[in-house]
Structure 1
């Protein structure tokens, strides 16, 4: 059992590692920040982009498009980001294993800069196709970054700070969403003249990481386990951990290296077929399916209607909606502060149970808001409450779990599977959600309620606490929870292959 420490003590431990703090910010601004920014930035310039679509066709083909044709091209422009993200997630595992976490992030930045150049020149060239290709490249960049950023930052952190550091990808993702909303207002970059600069902003964050990340060390475990460079690993740990003693961590990695001498990196299919990892695999699938089907997209979608019904003027709705992004960012930062003391299992369970209860109440209040003058204010409160539960648990805790629960040969496959699930469901939900809204209206929340409640129960019953545990210790906890008897446990151990005992 680990002892509970005051929150200030964890912050003090983090403060003793200035290079690790720099790695958190540098990896974050060129990592999940870009994904969050791209996910939210398209709302503000939508009218200008649709105008460019019509202008392009009129100038090039002397054809004026109907409204439904413009909407179709617009939908494809938005959704191709998910297709790029899926492609990026599929290749990320091989890139991370072959070239390392740091080099993969640097390569991904070059893709983002290429997309930014296309975005910047699209209006001058009168070409909406450049925006489509730029969005596709942004998607590839985000798909690679989701895996590479999370693995890099987790492997750079000491074990006793891994939970706190593991929340930072979600915090930067929330910061990216809020930044997209903020820069998109008409007082900044959301204007007819400046919107190409808004879409190209991701390129500037990529340039920032490209200029700073080379000065930071590669992941210590990658240096030792993949390249066999003990000296480089020691140097990376010394720089990253500062005053922390890293000798024990090196010994753990050497033990893992000895156990995995003849074990290569495994594919996603091999991970799926691995019997000894079936509960870790099932946990990844359940958590990442629920992350996309928990209803957060629908809550954001309906927030405009809720704010409008609450009496907020039409021209101020964009500013009110920024409050949702700020709420998610603030709650994610709070999750960073409490995760080490509270534990990830508790945050997941409480988060999904809170979201389930909020969805029930939100369904009721949205259906009754035309009957009572004060009901829209209840709906507005519930929107913020739902975001609070989401960002304070599932959003921050889920992303690093594949890297924490799986050993080195399976980490890339686990992250690839998780990202593939996320991008595929995001794309399908983007296509199907308008039809769900049309057919079910506010009752569509009941579908998302099922996934939230089911995931909460799954976590409560089947998932151990992972705080301050290595992947081997987490595997032992899964085995302890799911072996019905000591005899069965002994039998399962004797049936394992030599390399399985470490997995």
Structure 2
């Protein structure tokens, strides 16, 4: 999945230099003999951008069928093999003067990104010991941040961020796919999948020993067998089953609130405004890209730090503090942007706040969400849950991408207040509703959600929220 994120970030930096638009013009002229109109180029360009999101949406909703048919390991191998195809297509698009190939490659890259994120998270969550389950699943975010940082670095003009190299730059993810195809066959499939869905205790113990080291793992196998007994023969529930099951309404609502607030929490707004903020702080235009590298490096470091503390602090505490910190910083950024003309120091304070925002985001919602998504759904509902989460993520991404320009045009810097309110809602929800999942079995976590109650008082018209924390 980190390679897909790398592709997305790399493409963004290249597209900002108008290399792809220039190529669309030249390839259209080469094939059709005339210069395309501005509207035609804009339409093709918009399609290039949109096809990545469409591919991601379709890829994310195929995870249930592929994991059921091929297993976790088999689906990841297939995904890596598929990802090699757009790499080749992207490379040959330039010498063949075919912008149509870019469209195909973008869709396939998006498909691999949507499918790969879900597969990676499921495999890590089902293969990790209970005591370090959070630490292991946080690596999803860590490698996504590393991929983004690598994309920013290699996309510099001094390296491959030049017009003559854009197709080579966008082919580098194929290297990581080939590495995964070479290494992954030596790893076992998910132990939980092997036992709970395939009923093979011997193979499960062998997988545990391969991943965790020598041992009998009797207690872990007993815990899986207990979950298997609860599930029965229905091991692969559909998304409709997930939404209809009244025992999972709080889990579904939690994912809806958290993912919605992540998308509408202001990260895109920070990205848009950061360039002008850095300029106002006196940072030369040609040096801003290095400041962006610094933000990327801080995201990697905070993700690693989060992995070291998640089992000690807990998911719930890190999540609500992350959202709360993001909310507070959004308010402060609103204030500093209004006061920027009163002192030359204010823009520097805003730059510091931007770094702090990404630190709170990377050490809270971004890092904890993959772990939480794995832990709050039992085996039979997990693939369907990731289909729902993936669909939700890409749908909200598309909606926000459509609404964001209008929002910025209408509210300008006041939009940060709106994003602050979104972060505050998420922080309050996590603090008062979401149970802690640290160090608990999946059945125990399910029971924690069962214990959440919303009860009305006959004498007072209030809501009483109870959760076993």
TM-score normalised to the size of structure 2? 0.93
Partner of 1:210: 181
- Aligned partner (choices 113, 118, 132) of residue 161 of structure 1: 132
CA distance in 2, matches of 1:245, 1:451: 47
Shift of 1:285: 1.0
Unmatched 5+ residue regions in structure 2? 457-469
Contact 2:227–2:443 (Cα < 8 Å) also in 1: no
CA distance in 1, matches of 2:287, 2:33: 37
Contact 2:72–2:190 (Cα < 8 Å) also in 1: yes
Pair 1:89 & 2:60 matched? yes
Runs (4+) of structure 1 moved beyond 6 Å? none
Partner of 1:281: 252
Partner of 2:205: 234
Partner of 2:301: 330
Partner of 2:142: 171
Matched residue SS, 2:164: coil
Partner of 1:7: none
Partner of 2:92: 121
CA distance in 2, matches of 1:315, 1:45: 15
Judging changes above 3 Å, is the alpha-carbon distance between structure 1 residues 65 and 363 closer, same or farther for their aligned structure 2 residues?
A: farther
Partner of 2:434: 463
Contact 2:6–2:173 (Cα < 8 Å) also in 1: yes
Residue pairs, 1:191-202, within 5 angstroms:
191-202=162-173
Matched residue SS, 1:125: coil
Residue pairs, 1:49-448, within 5 angstroms:
49-67=20-38, 69-243=40-214, 246-448=217-419
Contact 1:79–1:430 (Cα < 8 Å) also in 2: no
CA distance in 2, matches of 1:381, 1:76: 36
Contact 2:59–2:112 (Cα < 8 Å) also in 1: yes
CA distance in 1, matches of 2:324, 2:231: 39
CA distance in 2, matches of 1:109, 1:423: 21
Matched residue SS, 1:37: helix
The number of residue pairs the alignment matches comes to 454
- Aligned partner (choices 27, 32, 36) of residue 5 of structure 2: 36
Contact 1:174–1:328 (Cα < 8 Å) also in 2: yes
CA distance in 2, matches of 1:383, 1:292: 17
Judging changes above 3 Å, is the alpha-carbon distance between structure 1 residues 326 and 119 closer, same or farther for their aligned structure 2 residues?
A: same
Shift of 1:435: 2.2
Shift of 1:94: 1.3
Pair 1:473 & 2:444 matched? yes
TM-score normalised to the size of structure 1? 0.87
CA distance in 2, matches of 1:142, 1:268: 21
Matched residue SS, 2:11: coil
Superposition RMSD on alpha carbons, in Å?
1.6
CA distance in 2, matches of 1:100, 1:299: 39
CA distance in 1, matches of 2:215, 2:145: 30
CA distance in 1, matches of 2:330, 2:271: 13
User: Residue by residue, what CA displacement relative to the aligned partner does 1:208-260 show, whole Å, maximum 9, x if unpaired?
Assistant: 10110000111001111122221111100011111565211111111222232
User: Which deviates further from its counterpart, 210-219 or 260-269?
Assistant: 260-269
Unmatched 5+ residue regions in structure 1? 1-31, 486-503
Shift of 1:343: 0.3
User: Which deviates further from its counterpart, 440-449 or 90-99?
Assistant: 440-449
Shift of 1:445: 1.8
Pair 1:45 & 2:18 matched? no
Partner of 1:13: none
